[in-house]
Amino acid sequence: MAKPSWQTIKQVVYERANGCCEYCSTAEINIGQTLHIEHIVLDTGDKLENLCLACPNCNVSKAAATTAVDPETNVTVQLFHPRHQSWADHFAWSEDFSEIFGLTPVGRATISRLKMNRPRIVLARQRWVQAGYHPVVQKS
């Protein structure tokens, strides 16, 4: 069986994520920038189970990290893993959908490490909500 092309892999990852960052749910169509194919764990290859779609902010902020400190408990925990964990188990939206809250140590550490509530992204989310573009309904 032939190995799929990188273009095919990118398309599968993009469609699986519905065109949204699998960490912060930012939609590519809202930011006007191409989302990145992110290696969840570096140096483990291009297998689909190790790839996710990430916005530039989450991808650059995560870098090669797989752990971070939970700001509430000061304990180092694994970062959220989009292939093995459910977003809704670790995160929730604020009432106005502009901020993401961590429900677990994993969620809080991931929000902190990936800087998911930077003031500029919170403001952008508020604007997207007002325009009716956020949150994007994710596939179940």
Please enumerate in sequence order all residues whose Cβ is within 8 A of that of 116, keeping only pairs 6 or more positions apart, or say none: 23, 24, 57, 58, 100, 110
Whether residue 139 has pLDDT greater than 80: no
Q: Where are the domains of the chain?
A: 6-131
Mean pLDDT (whole number) for 24-41: 95
| Confidence band for 140, pLDDT divided at 50, 70 and 90 | very low
pLDDT tens-digit readout, 65-107: 999 999 999 999 999 999 999 999 999 999 999 999 999 999 9
Q: DSSP 3-state assignment of 124? A: helix
